[in-house]
Amino acid sequence: MAVIHNATTLTPTKLELLATWLPAQPWYRGKAGQQPELARTGGFRLDDPQGEVGIEFMVATDTSGDQPVSYQIPFSYRGAPIPGADEALIGTTEHGVLGKRWVYDGTRDPVLVAQLFALIVGEAEPQMQSTSNTPDPSVTGWFAETGVKAAIASTTVTDDPSGTDLLVETAADGRRLTIHINRLLQPGRAIEGQAALGHVTADAPLPDGTRARTTFAVVHAHR
């Protein structure tokens, strides 16, 4: 289980790293040239079974525009860079306990993708975002079939204005599935489409400060 060091420092902070990285993403909805004003407004964590990689799904809300916009940012935190993954690097930061950390867009990190799929098929338990060793029952993963093994043989990642698609091939039977990561969260919105094979849902903020069930990720058979 991951240990959360709430009493230490992070320089620069995750939100400071995001303020530079976020406007360059194809799914960003802010105005060109306008600096986002970000606050952490939700999210959850998953554990790396090997205990090496930090995994967080952060909800970051931008209030710089006319209406607040909430984004889902899957982060992975590592003690060393991922070889060949420079394009996925959000930035580096100095952790007061752990030292230098490499912060990645987790959709490009195989450990995060594997644990996300494990959550969907029921092999990983979501954890509270800011509390060590504490499950978060408000986060739910669901898959239409039982007995599916979480091991993944390969992943291909693509971004578009609606979010990020993870095309995964399962190791057990070579099945190809698309996990769509909703980057622009829409609290209260129903699962997209009737043919969804699985999903992840959690709470996200509404403009009035209340929270609603929200689709964070949805799974379809790859066509």
Average pLDDT over residues 52-68: 94
pLDDT at 67 over 80: yes
Least confident of 51-60, 66-75, 150-159, 191-200: 191-200
CA dist 181 and 202 (Å) reads 13
More confident residue, 132 or 30: 30
Average pLDDT over residues 16-40: 93
CA dist 223 and 221 (Å) reads 6
Q: Which of 62, 103, 58, 67 is nearest to 202 (CA)?
A: 58
Residue carrying structure tokens 């993870």: 166
CA dist 202 and 91 (Å) reads 27
CA dist 24 and 45 (Å) reads 25
Mean pLDDT of the chain: 90
pLDDT at 114 over 90: yes
Average pLDDT over residues 200-207: 91
40 alpha carbon, distance to own chain's centre = 13
Residue 208: pLDDT band by 50, 70, 90 thresholds?
confident
pLDDT at 190 over 90: no
Average pLDDT over residues 77-89: 94
Domain spans, the chain: 10-221
Residue 223: pLDDT band by 50, 70, 90 thresholds?
confident
Q: Helices (DSSP H) in the chain: which residue ranges?
A: 14-21, 110-120
For residue 41, the model assigns a pLDDT of: 94
3-state secondary structure of 2: coil
Q: Which residues touch 24 (CB under 8 Å, ≥6 apart)?
A: none
For residue 204, the model assigns a pLDDT of: 92
